[in-house]
Amino acid sequence: MKTIIDEERGEVVVQDGGKETRHSLASAEGFAAAARAWVRATWDSKYVYSFSWMGRPVIQLPDDMIRLQEVIWELKPDVLIETGVAHGGSLIFYASLFEAMGKGRVIGIDIEIRPHNRAAIEAHSMKKRIELVEGSSTAPEVLDQVKALMKPGETALVVLDSNHTKQHVLDELRAYAPLVNVGSWIVATDGVMENVVGAPRTADDWTWNNPRQAALDFVAENPDFVIEEPVPAFNEGVVKDRVTYWPDAYIRRVR
């Protein structure tokens, strides 16, 4: 597929399999085509490796973080559980939202929390709303630690951002689903892997070995959950689809 953005004419030209389609940049279709090319460019250029939140690196597309903020504000969970800590920037992001809201805390899980990252998180002013658990996110003893940090009746939101292989994400979905209340969500991040195969830092098996495919398999086997896009609280534009690294990521418990 080839995408040509013609700013002079205000058009996006998509060439695919000998077929050429033109869209206005002002249309939802034109925006979607340009956004698809832009997302690929962000991957190739490591664009997401250039942001921080309150001093800690956040290796995420800002669009995804703002969209998730909308979900957090609407749901107002008591606990946000995130697998995958890295530099801790996303934990700080969630904790700062909870601080502004006056409620909520974060549980961050990672198989290895590097000492310099742990030290930075523990020294941060938002640490009062963060608990760290070290170990495999799917290990029974880690799940027991997480459950021990929760109180009966609390609303939990889960974000999966650790090992992104299909099997590991599917195992995480099965493990953390019982902690999610009806109306809340599990967010399986980084399904963009499926869309960037052939780019730098990718593998051929990403066409199927990715979080999006795990999410699809999970909802197919579990009728209590559906993949459902959160409804934006505000949208006066023509664009309906998110610019995202997290396609089909939002898995909502419906019963």
pLDDT of residue 8: 97
Report pLDDT digits (tens) over 171-185.
999 999 999 999 999
- Report, as an integer, the average pLDDT of 179-207: 98
- The token pair at 129 is 């709303």
Confidence of residue 169 (pLDDT cuts 50, 70, 90): very high
Residue 133 and residue 161 in one domain: yes
Average pLDDT over residues 187-191: 98
pLDDT in tens, 29-61: 999 999 999 999 999 999 999 999 999 999 999
Same domain flag for 81 and 16: no
| pLDDT, mean of residues 215-222 | 98
Q: Are 171 and 139 in contact (CB under 8 A)?
A: no
In three state form, how does the secondary structure of 58-99 look?
Answer: CCCCHHHHHHHHHHHHHHCCCEEEEECCCCCHHHHHHHHHHH
Q: Are residues 83 and 197 in the same domain?
A: yes
**Residue 89 sits in the same domain as residue 205:** yes
Q: Are residues 75 and 110 in the same domain?
A: yes
Going by pLDDT thresholds of 50, 70 and 90, the confidence category of residue 145 is very high
Residues 99 and 209 both lie in one domain: yes
Q: How confident is the model at residue 121 (pLDDT cuts 50, 70, 90)?
A: very high
Are 24 and 125 part of one and the same domain? no
Query: Domain span at residue 83?
Result: 53-253
- Residues 98 and 208: their CA atoms lie apart, in Å, by 35
What value does the mean pLDDT of the chain take? 97
pTM higher than the cut 0.85? yes
In this structure, the answer to whether residues 141 and 74 fall within a common structural domain is yes
Could you tell me if 138 and 227 lie in one domain?
yes
130 and 239 in one domain? yes
Q: Where are the alpha helices (DSSP H) in 125-183?
A: 140-148, 166-176
143 and 65 co-located in one domain: yes
Q: What does the pLDDT read at residue 200?
A: 97
pLDDT of residue 197: 98
Percent of the chain with pLDDT over 70: 100
Q: Look at residue 47 in the predicted model and tell me its pLDDT.
A: 98
- Predicted pLDDT of residue 152: 95
32 and 107 together in one domain: no
Question: How many domains does the chain contain in total?
Answer: 2
Tens digit of each residue's pLDDT (9 = 90 or more) over 14-27: 999 899 999 999 99
CB 188 within 8 A of CB 173: yes
Give the CA distances from residue 30 to residues 135, 229, 246, in Å, rounded to whole numbers and listed in that order: 44, 21, 20
Q: What is the mean pLDDT of residues 84-96?
A: 98
For position 186, what pLDDT does the model report?
Answer: 98
Q: What percent of the chain has pLDDT over 90?
A: 99
Check which CATH number belongs to the domain holding 171 and give it: 3.40.50.150
